[in-house]
Amino acid sequence: MRSLNGKVAWVTGAGTGIGAAGAKALAAAGMHVVLSGRRAAPLEEIAETIGAAASVEALDVSDKSAVFEVARRIIERHKRVDVLVNSAGINVKSRNWHNVTLEDWERVIRIDLDGAFYCTKAVLPTMIEQGDGLIVNISSWAGRYVSVVTGPGYTAAKHAMNAMNESLNMEHGIHGIRACAICPGEVATPILDNRPVPVSDEDKAKMVQSEDCGDVIRFVAELPPHVCINELVISPTWNRGYIAQARTLAP
């Protein structure tokens, strides 16, 4: 496993959930983490818990001009970007074909897919110049398996993210760049609050936790540069998608 001391990570969606947990895990490994997200207040709270190893760059990743400006400032200040974690993502409550609006479809695609593309595009030249870089795309179980639960917009965005992720490995592995799509099943994060059917606290306790995903992000980042985990699927042992099927087998 390689040391991350003194290296620089840029984490989007860092104010809550997987992004916040990933930022904390990478900082604990010795990295300086730049925290981005739409709301400054949660970012400042996470930065305060991390300490001097964190800095804040508030950002809406769907704004491509703002993305490139933030990336420019990060590179100007730190001279490098070793790890990019694309964790910014949303879903909407009215998400299925019968009730999703055109505006909500566009919001999901702009943030979940385009935002990851913009951030990657912004740091790619620096990573190529370094001859090293890791891009972690926080995808979803919905990036592997089509589900009514997540709706067509989120499902399409995450499937596309997985394809984009592998295209990075195909084109830029030769430059020492690795891309890993992490595909969690249900994770107890604030995005669950937008579910059409509320999730109970009891069910949330059985899900993958944000900190579990943070540990996975750190693990991928600490692997030696010659190792690429192209895609990693993680799910709760108590998988609600499997429960009904398992019960049909009960004696």
Catalytic residues: 154
In angstroms, the CA 45 to CA 251 distance is: 51
How many whole angstroms from its chain centre is CA 5? 22
In angstroms, the CA 6 to CA 137 distance is: 22
Helices 115-130 and 151-172: angle between axes, nearest 10 degrees: 10
In angstroms, the CA 172 to CA 216 distance is: 23
Q: SS in 3 state form for 194-245?
A: HCCCCCCHHHHHHCECHHHHHHHHHHHHHCCCCCCCCEEEECCCCCHHHHHH
Q: What phi and psi, each to the nearest 5 degrees, are found at residue 160? A: -65, -35
In angstroms, the CA 211 to CA 226 distance is: 26
